[in-house]
Amino acid sequence: MSVTVTPDPFTLVDFDAAAIADIAGRVWQQVGLPDVPLQVEVDETTPLGRAWVLQADPPVIKVESGGLEHNHKPRQFDPDNAAELFGRLLFRLKDRLDPAFGDPPSDDDLSLELSAAWDAYAMGRVERLGYKSQRPRRLYQFRVRHGFSDAADAAFNHLWSADSLTWADIEKTSAEALAALTT
């Protein structure tokens, strides 16, 4: 599979396009995506860390450079953060490409609650591939959106440990956690 990373070369951050392509390609294969070209667009003009699937066909991932940086060394590439980020996004892409999964909204149109729920589902699978997952961070993110309750924790655990959910399953799990807030 081929991965194209732009810009190449980087001028504002100390990143190597080939290293990013290597990690994205390795995670791509582990996630089990088809052998098609992947485009990774890195915005090196911002230290923020937003990352999203820009389009599924052909696959394009957009990343703000902070998402690929070392947490304690600004402007320096961190392969572990990159693998985690690509794992989350590539599992989302795999879900989007699977007709049985359903038809989730674009990343820009996702509610914060559904985004947190889908992240929990994706990151649980990333962890099972052997990458760091920052489970406590993801649990906190889920709780902030779904409430600090036993119901929210149970919903998170269900999403985290699942292997084959549909979009309807994610929506239902999120809605059930939110419904517990009003009871």
Which residues, in sequence order, are bridge partners of residue 41?
Answer: 6, 62
- What does CATH list as the number for 3-97? 3.30.2010
Dihedral over Cα of 27, 33, 39, 43: its sign = negative
Mean pLDDT in each 10-residue stretch from start to end of the chain (183 residues)? Answer: 94 96 97 95 95 92 96 93 96 96 93 97 97 94 96 97 97 96 74
Alpha carbon distance 175, 13 (integer Å): 41
* pTM score, whole prediction: 0.93
| Residue matched to tokens 């947490």 | 71
Q: Residue 182: its pLDDT value, please? A: 76
Element (H, E) at 51: strand 51-56
The structural domains of the chain, with segments of one domain joined by +, span: 3-97, 107-182
